[in-house]
Structure 1
């Protein structure tokens, strides 16, 4: 069925019109950012200010022109309009940057997570700025030059005109553009569609079209002296989107650690930083033997990790997943994927409260042999639907932000809701500690909790997480870490708790420490263990 024709337009003016639409509509966030920068400068040339949208239109026209081929133009630019609309909304509302890591986050997000980002605001935005322009594009009858060589000539002339305009502006205001660019390195990552198209191509190239490294085993020389009196039971809890500054044990004014503070013996590490600002980076990084500065996702995906090394020494392992995937960290480990449809009391059909991970735990422990390590991957404080992370009885701070378009809540509502998620995580951790206490007559027990990354709650206009690490605010990288040990475990490992508490308050740590710290707690001797990275080693006699 043929589409009706709304009106006719020649191909060269149409591409220029698309460049104008992208520049003024979808790139509205970058123009706002640009002019916000200029308002804070002491001296600004009026010609430089006026030139900015013209340069953006000319640059987009130059880049768009090679794609103005018959049969390609309409589907190609319709796709760019719709995807660009999504990116524009995220940039405008949440200040999200679409680098390669963000593309990885999007591709690896499960349908339940993706659904939590949907709301009336984003749907209306996409319809008006993406779907509607795409439909109008299909209703245009595009007129192409009668001769192919004329088409090439006209396109080249349009591209040369764009280059001439950019060159002319550069001749007049190069120093101004260079100065703003040097001092605001994120601007070039905000231009739509160049930012997300380039990042997507890089991600696909690195993931699917780059020769994978040969699979590397790790810690083949690992040996461990088993406990003589009792076996060990460890709970290793990976938090989600928790930031350190909202933990009362780390100085926050609200009592968000009301439950673990009553458990007795919980030590909170005040100065810990993440490997990344998103789960897709942080989780595989923290379980690898690489540091943040030399972390290679391709290498990590083709190598064994921390849990593989522990498993080689005879420890029974289990991974319980409540956050949509372990990002490869549990690939060779027995895993239980918690299904939101299996527990209507603790799940809503799409996600589950973290309390669900305590269900059937006694049975699961009984099925494991000898020394045991159970890793729990929490949904924790995953946004933007923070209000869905805790049951009604944990609505402690009110009023809450019971919506996904969190930028439309007041700051108080947003912080209340986020703090409720932290308090509920604390409740779950306290339940886990109580469970370990019940096992302390049969096992030496220990719980180690660390979050994968933090979260922005509107500070400096930023929301959620995923900002490139070198640009990320402290809220996204400063994370909580806590440890609890039974008296039997403390005695078995000869740990000076006063020493550990002092170190937790004053020393700087990061995800880089997790690998060797866990190996150290299990007394595993291997060439991949680095004693200087073991948090606990300095406090063991």
Structure 2
């Protein structure tokens, strides 16, 4: 044999050296890979429940493993064939690799709310999460398995034989899955009943099921007009005095535990402490993510009558104000108003060109005040302006404040929080709060200098944040099990002397009111009460000003 013919022989032999398997066997191998390699977060959570402390727990774990594999196999058998198997598995393995990374890195639960957050995340936020830490997980959970998937050859069967094999495989998978569940039925049902959130850790079923639910819910009535709310609204008993201006500042990812005015060990709110503000130390958010909390806090339903679809398809507080003839304006340094300001005046400044505040990748929150007074002065009516902060949006806390606010050191200077100590993470997070404090002080000073209006500010964060406690990071844990760090938020009010006098507000009463528990639910009716808007959707029980407003407030 010549030297040239030997390599040619090897080239011809290459296809023959590739193993040939059926589509069903490929689906089974991938299903086992998912159950074994891609569900570390689930198995860790199961161990945390104490399930592995007895022999029965290990039996349950084996049953769960078999059932998960069987369900994955059933799912794959419904969508794979000889032509679609490799492309679909490539996509599924790649997406699963990303899911595994974020679940392991931040203990993310991929429920429908989290999937909505992912789908509505803008390019700037996404870029911060695409770190070098993704490289190894993508190689281990995607690149290598995908290479192996494309390495094998798939058997070619006649349509009749292919159908019989597929039906037989699915029947066996169903029987084995049901059998595995029955073996440990009581333990598995107890686990899923007492720890309902754990199902959102089973990959890839978690994100596939959640994506299907989101697509179904969001697609239903997508073109449906929002139901009118407070169409009967009107301003009642308004004194013919100065026009009123209320600025609502929607904070981002600031938790009550690190808020200086709440008694935190660090003074993260020094500038607000020097201003005459009303601080509410016990406030609960509507949800643990912006996607839930922002529409909820501006809705008539709130958390007390929470209905996601009703909130999504109904008008908001701003529409009620608009019905009453009060001008509204939403100014945004984040990912939009989530439908709250639909059909109303909106402006994004996230891509503004203000050199001292913007760097091409985003802007610091003081950009929200840039040119704001000029826009306010265009209107001589009563106004409600909403400023939506970038705030403490993670994981890049170190990018949320300028250098002069780097007060607490050392700081975590990377979005890969797992590479930083908890102290470094907290230092960067607290520095970002001190910048929010500075921003809010600037809002108050601007309102105080507006002598032509009676002014007020309400600051309320949308949700909190986990900074490594119990190995949790960021936010978005299902509401039922979300820790206080994600649900307790700061709220601060400032009222100008002119507005206090015109509305007959008893500040001593308000200070007593501020010591009581409050929530996002109070925002809707409190704003209506402060602006003297009367409508059927106004609830005096939720109005924080109702018991502290004298005769001048009508």
TM bracket (short chain): over 0.9
Runs of 4+ in 1 over 6 A off after TM superposition: none
2:360 — aligned with what?
A: 349
State the 1:63 CA deviation.
2.7
> In 2, Cα distance between the equivalents of 1:360 and 1:333?
19
Relative distance call for 1:408 and 1:217 in structure 2 (3 A) is same
8 Å Cα contact 1:341/1:348 also seen in 2? no
8 Å Cα contact 2:279/2:493 also seen in 1? yes
State the 1:195 CA deviation.
0.9
445-454 or 147-156, which deviates more? 147-156
8 Å Cα contact 2:63/2:181 also seen in 1? no
> In 1, Cα distance between the equivalents of 2:402 and 2:476?
27
Is 2:234 the partner of 1:223?
Answer: yes
1:478 — aligned with what?
A: 488
Count of residue pairs brought into register by the alignment? 535
Aligned partner of residue 471 in structure 1, secondary structure: coil
TM-score (norm 2): 0.91
8 Å Cα contact 1:277/1:477 also seen in 2? yes
8 Å Cα contact 1:517/1:536 also seen in 2? yes
Is 2:261 the partner of 1:240?
Answer: no
- Give CA deviations for 1:127-161 in whole Å, capped at 9, x if unaligned: 331234224323322113x2222222222333333
1:498 — aligned with what?
A: 508
2:315 — aligned with what?
A: 304
> In 2, Cα distance between the equivalents of 1:45 and 1:388?
45
1:377 — aligned with what?
A: 388
> In 2, Cα distance between the equivalents of 1:309 and 1:45?
54
Relative distance call for 1:361 and 1:48 in structure 2 (3 A) is closer
Relative distance call for 1:252 and 1:151 in structure 2 (3 A) is same
2:375 — aligned with what?
A: 364
Relative distance call for 1:166 and 1:299 in structure 2 (3 A) is closer
TM-score (norm 1): 0.93
Structure-to-structure mapping, 1:115-134, within 5 angstroms: 115-134=127-146
Which residue of 515, 528, 541 maps to 1:519? 528
8 Å Cα contact 1:4/1:139 also seen in 2? no
Aligned partner of residue 330 in structure 2, secondary structure: strand
Which residue of 466, 469, 487 maps to 2:476? 466
2:9 — aligned with what?
A: none
State the 1:27 CA deviation.
1.7
State the 1:326 CA deviation.
0.7
State the 1:534 CA deviation.
0.4
Structure-to-structure mapping, 1:139-150, within 5 angstroms: 139-144=151-156, 146-150=157-161
State the 1:42 CA deviation.
5.7
- Give CA deviations for 1:402-460 in whole Å, capped at 9, x if unaligned: 10111221010011111111111111001111111111x32211111001111111111
8 Å Cα contact 2:249/2:386 also seen in 1? yes
**Structure 1 unaligned spans of 5+:** none
Aligned partner of residue 367 in structure 1, secondary structure: coil
Structure-to-structure mapping, 1:180-259, within 5 angstroms: 180-210=191-221, 214-224=225-235, 225-259=237-271
State the 1:206 CA deviation.
1.2
Cα RMSD for the two superposed structures:
2.2
State the 1:168 CA deviation.
4.1
Relative distance call for 1:34 and 1:300 in structure 2 (3 A) is closer
State the 1:536 CA deviation.
0.8
> In 2, Cα distance between the equivalents of 1:236 and 1:510?
15
Which residue of 7, 27, 40 maps to 1:15? 27
1:533 — aligned with what?
A: 542
Relative distance call for 1:525 and 1:92 in structure 2 (3 A) is same
> In 2, Cα distance between the equivalents of 1:31 and 1:413?
29
254-263 or 51-60, which deviates more? 51-60
Relative distance call for 1:371 and 1:58 in structure 2 (3 A) is closer
Which residue of 434, 447, 466 maps to 2:457? 447
1:29 — aligned with what?
A: 41
2:6 — aligned with what?
A: none
224-233 or 490-499, which deviates more? 224-233
> In 1, Cα distance between the equivalents of 2:544 and 2:163?
65
387-396 or 284-293, which deviates more? 284-293
Which residue of 112, 134, 137 maps to 1:100? 112
8 Å Cα contact 2:244/2:383 also seen in 1? yes
2:298 — aligned with what?
A: 287
Is 2:71 the partner of 1:71?
Answer: no
> In 2, Cα distance between the equivalents of 1:6 and 1:227?
85
> In 2, Cα distance between the equivalents of 1:437 and 1:7?
76
> In 2, Cα distance between the equivalents of 1:345 and 1:496?
41
State the 1:45 CA deviation.
5.2
8 Å Cα contact 1:213/1:299 also seen in 2? no
